[in-house]
Amino acid sequence: MKKRLGIYLDSQGIAFAEAEGKDLSSSVFLSFSYLLEEGKDFSELSSTLKIEALLQRGLRELRTELKEAYLGFSEKESIFRVLELPYMNKKELNLALPLEIEKYMPFRIEEIFWDYQERRVFREKKIKIAFLGMKKTFLEENLKAFSNVGVKVKSVDSGFFSLIGFLILLGKIPKRYKDFAVFSFTREEGEIAIFSEGFPYFSRYTKIPLTLEGEPDVKKIGKDLKMTLRYYQGEVKGKELEKLFILGESSLVNKCEEEFQDLGISLESSPLEDVLKDRKVANLSELKAYSLAIRDYRAEFLKFNILKERREVVLREEVSEVLASREVLWNFKSLFFLLIIGVFIGGGIFFIQISKESSKVVEVKKIEEELKVLPNFKEFGSLSLTTLKDKESYLKKIIAELREYSDIPKDNSSLIELLGRNITEGMWFKSLNLKRERNLRDLYLVLQGYIYLGDIQRERNSLNKFITKLKESEFLKRRKMKVTLNSVRQQELEGYKVTAFTIGIR
């Protein structure tokens, strides 16, 4: 049988697993702290060099001759979104999805590698999309390390969803379950995913809270899970989750089983030591590496490869050409053509519906009204539009001119990364509304979130620490951006007293 190499990277280190067919041949995990034991100055090594050093050592310890790897990362490094779109064919979906998904991300589609899985619901005439992406700058830096040690990366997948697919393959998650949740965790980090009708609905990465003794705080983990499950129940009315599957070290799983009894959901635990019958793995990371190595045997709807070459080159103008050719009924009376104009203003897209029966003068006025918000807009003048193609051609010329005035700065993603890096204990964000002033240059961010630590003073201290870190950041100082606390209050959320806050950055 053919051998395959799976490699999984997380914040703690790198796991390697070699599989022959479905069987695990060998596995090993190396922590980044290993570099300290080797006498290397860990702090002065670049990220690429750290990964190169561990890759070389890990491949030697695994004693493998394989030079191709199936790679996976922690959910912390991934962008996972689920959305629904109206029913359309494959070509239209590949063109429309990039524009649609940008509404749910702090980045432009050109800044990430991505892939998706779809499920077509014929009776409801819609398509469910599970989208996985990763920042190009991050992934390219990691791929460089693999290239430097002579390893070709065949695919890049989600380590967590790869693991879930593996548990389904083993029967640890029986296929009869359609509405369920999976929680896997170590002493440092955890991941939870919720499935609805057998398809991913929600996924989240979380840091594991610790007690004063440095052990995972099972009570806080339970409260966090309860809030997540209540969120799902609030979003999906009338649907109950059938089961919560828990995966982790046996000592942690046993504690969780006792503490999670009041979650209101049936529990089924899988201690890490019992997942494989004939061979043990050292930790959860090795199990994820193994699941990546047997990629070909896992369920198709849980397989991603954000490196695969896409069949179509997605251009924003192409969406207009595809959708403009489709006729749709409007209120079952009038026939309309849908024309999409891809001018981005602070992440928004202008949609213009033009009636086929309307006069040319009315059509031009409608378009002009929609575009008045754009700066330095030139008057349309008189036009002779006889067909939809003429209209489309003219609008493309206007868009080309407008792009000269809409050179949007690239700071959005850096600002979002800054917030993520400086998040403090017990904090999570409710919403991030990134806006631009009318001049399209100045950023204005309204950040809303909560803090829960069970003590109001600790929560206020955590908030103050977060604000201080933002104010002292070089990123905001260079741009002369100010951080203000707009509001802070105690609020009851899902039965818990939390600190709610709103922060402005201008």
Sequential DSSP letters for 175-193: TT--SEEEEEE-SSEEEEE
**Average confidence (pLDDT) over 461-486:** 86
**Is the predicted pLDDT of residue 148 greater than 60, yes or no?**
yes
Residues 395 and 291 in one domain: no
Residues 417 and 396 in one domain: no
Two tokens, residue 1:
């049988």
**Is the predicted pLDDT of residue 8 greater than 80, yes or no?**
yes
pLDDT for the residue numbered 407: 39
**Is the predicted pLDDT of residue 477 greater than 60, yes or no?**
yes
In a domain, 190, yes or no: yes
Residues 494 and 459 in one domain: yes
Residues 271 and 366 in one domain: no
Q: In this predicted structure, which of 97-111, 115-129, 262-276, 356-370 has the lowest mean pLDDT?
A: 356-370
- Mark out the alpha helices in 236-335 (DSSP H runs): 250-259, 272-275, 284-293, 316-324
**Is the predicted pLDDT of residue 35 greater than 80, yes or no?**
no
Q: 143 vs 100, which has greater pLDDT?
A: 143
**Average confidence (pLDDT) over 255-279:** 83
CA terminus-to-terminus distance, the chain: 59
**Average confidence (pLDDT) over 122-133:** 90
Phi/psi at 179 (5° precision): -120, 100
Q: 3-state class of 496 per DSSP?
A: strand
**Is the predicted pLDDT of residue 492 greater than 60, yes or no?**
yes
Binned at pLDDT 50, 70 and 90, residue 274 comes out as confident
Residues 18 and 165 in one domain: yes
Q: 330 vs 125, which has greater pLDDT?
A: 125
Binned at pLDDT 50, 70 and 90, residue 139 comes out as very high
Residues 290 and 155 in one domain: yes
- Bridge-based pairing state of the strands 427-436 and 443-451: antiparallel
In a domain, 208, yes or no: yes
Q: 316 vs 93, which has greater pLDDT?
A: 93
**Longest CA pairwise span in the chain (Å):** 78
Residues 293 and 342 in one domain: no
**Average confidence (pLDDT) over 448-476:** 86
Binned at pLDDT 50, 70 and 90, residue 316 comes out as very low
Residues 263 and 341 in one domain: no
**Average confidence (pLDDT) over 254-263:** 83
**Is the predicted pLDDT of residue 40 greater than 50, yes or no?**
yes
* Sign of the C-alpha dihedral computed for residues 138, 142, 143 and 148 taken in this order: positive
pLDDT for the residue numbered 342: 32
Instruction: Find the CATH number of the domain harbouring 206.
Output: 3.30.420.40
Residues 28 and 173 in one domain: yes
**Is the predicted pLDDT of residue 349 greater than 50, yes or no?**
no
In a domain, 182, yes or no: yes
**Average confidence (pLDDT) over 63-88:** 91
- Bridge-based pairing state of the strands 126-135 and 112-121: antiparallel
What is the C-alpha to C-alpha distance for residues 66 and 60, in angstroms, rounded to an integer? 11
CB count within 10 Å of CB 37 equals 8
**Is the predicted pLDDT of residue 313 greater than 50, yes or no?**
no
What tens digit of pLDDT does each residue of 431-448 get? 877 665 555 555 567 888
pLDDT for the residue numbered 393: 63
pLDDT for the residue numbered 329: 29
Instruction: Find the CATH number of the domain harbouring 477.
Output: 3.30.980
**Is the predicted pLDDT of residue 129 greater than 90, yes or no?**
yes
In a domain, 259, yes or no: yes
pLDDT for the residue numbered 43: 54
Domain holding 382, by residue range, is 316-403
Q: Which of 275, 302, 329 is the last residue of a domain?
A: 302
In a domain, 428, yes or no: yes
Binned at pLDDT 50, 70 and 90, residue 47 comes out as confident
pLDDT for the residue numbered 396: 63
Q: How many domains does the chain have?
A: 3
**Average confidence (pLDDT) over 422-426:** 84
What tens digit of pLDDT does each residue of 384-411 get? 445 555 656 656 665 555 544 443 344 4
In a domain, 437, yes or no: yes
Q: In this predicted structure, which of 103-112, 118-127, 270-279, 378-387 has the lowest mean pLDDT?
A: 378-387
In a domain, 112, yes or no: no
Q: Which of 403, 428, 453 is the last residue of a domain?
A: 403
Binned at pLDDT 50, 70 and 90, residue 174 comes out as very high
Residues 329 and 182 in one domain: no
Residues 71 and 159 in one domain: yes
Q: What is the pTM of this model?
A: 0.64
What is the C-alpha to C-alpha distance for residues 3 and 8, in angstroms, rounded to an integer? 17
**Is the predicted pLDDT of residue 499 greater than 70, yes or no?**
yes
Calculate the average pLDDT of the chain.
77
In a domain, 48, yes or no: yes
Residues 178 and 326 in one domain: no
Q: Which of 272, 302, 332 is the last residue of a domain?
A: 302
pLDDT for the residue numbered 7: 97
Yes or no: say if 91 and 147 are a contact pair by the CB < 8 Å rule: no
Two tokens, residue 327:
């006729």
Q: 417 vs 252, which has greater pLDDT?
A: 252
Q: 416 vs 213, which has greater pLDDT?
A: 213
Binned at pLDDT 50, 70 and 90, residue 89 comes out as confident
Q: 89 vs 168, which has greater pLDDT?
A: 168
CA distances from 344 to 16, 244, 321, 348, 436 (A): 43, 41, 18, 5, 11
pLDDT for the residue numbered 319: 45
What is the C-alpha to C-alpha distance for residues 114 and 106, in angstroms, rounded to an integer? 14
**Average confidence (pLDDT) over 82-88:** 88
CA distances from 332 to 229, 329, 336, 391, 482 (A): 40, 5, 11, 24, 52
pLDDT for the residue numbered 49: 86
**Is the predicted pLDDT of residue 238 greater than 90, yes or no?**
no
